[in-house]
Amino acid sequence: MTSPITQSGSISSEIRSRENSSRENGVDVVVVGAGIAGLVAARKLHADGYTVEVLEARERVGGRLLSHRRAAGDAEAALDLGATWFWPGEDRIAALITELGIRTHAHFLEGDAIYHDPDGSSRIEGNPMDVPSGRFTDGAQSLTTAIANDLPAETLLLASPVSALRFADGSATERTVTVEHATGTTKCSHVIVALPPALFTSTVDVSPGLSDRVRGVAEITPVWMGAIAKVIAIFDSPFWRESGLAGSAISHFGPMREIHDMSGPDGSPAVLFGFVSLTETSNAPSEAEVRNQFAELFGPAAPAPIEVVIADWRAETYTSPVGVERLGAYQAFGHDLYQQPDLDGRLHWASTETSPVNPGHIEGALVAAERAVAAIVQSLPKPTLQGTNS
């Protein structure tokens, strides 16, 4: 079965949404986007006593952290349709995992890889496709669900896409920014833009506009994985391991160009995933094409997937702007202009693309969120008591 991405990854019922919000007194900070960057920034600001509102366009949190939930025996498995791994040396993600009590396990590496080209598939000794990394046992989205569930109910508004930011004259400590969104308006002193810069410039009206240089960089900054389809295939058992295969493959034929094991900690559920690069002339594959490729890789006698899910990130309007596959200026990642606020110090960048360290990774989103929060704390007097400054 092929599931539309929007139906995957159910969210906790504890995450609330409100209708018709217009906070009369406003808040210190509005965070646009409840991906990992936006939520981590909101968590820190709230802990420091600032009033915060997180406005999220989708009816779920997590952004590019999205876990497809399905029954696995008596339990439930959460299979990642977005981010899969974290790596050694990513200290912020390691600290967050510990702080939130997130379950993890090591990525499966053992065995040989498969090489696939138009002539067929062959075995490569060893596994050059994978490096040691960690996996989120309950899905990467468990990070954002845990943070969202910890925030006070009034802090997070789902299904509230932001359409405009109006900056009036005034200091960075006054509530001079009006944020227009689908469920109302909110006044604030600072805004954190926690969505990909190119998506922001193409979907949110800013007045007065961003400075020309900043807009120029934002418009060309690629969206990490925005032009990718991720395919997950669930099997009855990790049959490839029985013949000494790691489940990894490199393909010069496609549609999946690289494939990795994404099974649970003990091989259950048994899952492989693949990446498909989307271009101006190619679209996400059909389920039949995916099934054919698995048969070519492992041979026609190999077990077929019991379920296939294809997540087309280019089709996600709250991740990828139109024409995302044409954005190739990766040198704009972590650009100097993102390291300082724009519009008199009141607009702060916080998506992973704006981080000079590990841009594209979850770790990069955490670095960017940290920088945005630090700039706000520096310019907005710290509240003496939590919640007394609204």
Given the rule CB under 6 A, which residues bind ligand FAD? Answer: 32-38, 55-58, 63-65, 82-86, 161-162, 194-196, 199, 203-204, 224-225, 228, 230, 313, 318-319, 351-352, 360-362, 364-365
Are residues 59 and 13 in contact, defined by beta-carbon separation less than 8 angstroms? no
Shortest reach from residue 371's CB to ligand FAD, in Å: 12
Shortest reach from residue 35's CB to ligand FAD, in Å: 2
Shortest reach from residue 122's CB to ligand FAD, in Å: 27
Which residue number, 203 or 389, has a Cβ lying nearer to ligand FAD?
A: 203
- Among 18, 307, 54, which Cα is nearest to 162's? 54
Strand partners of residue 274: 231, 259
Which residue number, 250 or 302, has a Cβ lying nearer to ligand FAD?
A: 250
Which residue number, 67 or 319, has a Cβ lying nearer to ligand FAD?
A: 319
Are residues 18 and 172 in contact, defined by beta-carbon separation less than 8 angstroms? no
Shortest reach from residue 315's CB to ligand FAD, in Å: 12
Shortest reach from residue 15's CB to ligand FAD, in Å: 12
- Among 293, 211, 223, 291, which Cα is nearest to 257's? 293
Shortest reach from residue 78's CB to ligand FAD, in Å: 15
Are residues 158 and 15 in contact, defined by beta-carbon separation less than 8 angstroms? yes
Cα gap 300→297, rounded to integer Å: 9
Residue 40, classed as helix, strand or coil, is helix
Cα gap 340→371, rounded to integer Å: 9
Which residue number, 49 or 184, has a Cβ lying nearer to ligand FAD?
A: 184
Residue 285, classed as helix, strand or coil, is coil
Which residue number, 114 or 194, has a Cβ lying nearer to ligand FAD?
A: 194
Which residue number, 302 or 357, has a Cβ lying nearer to ligand FAD?
A: 357
- Residues in the chain, total: 390
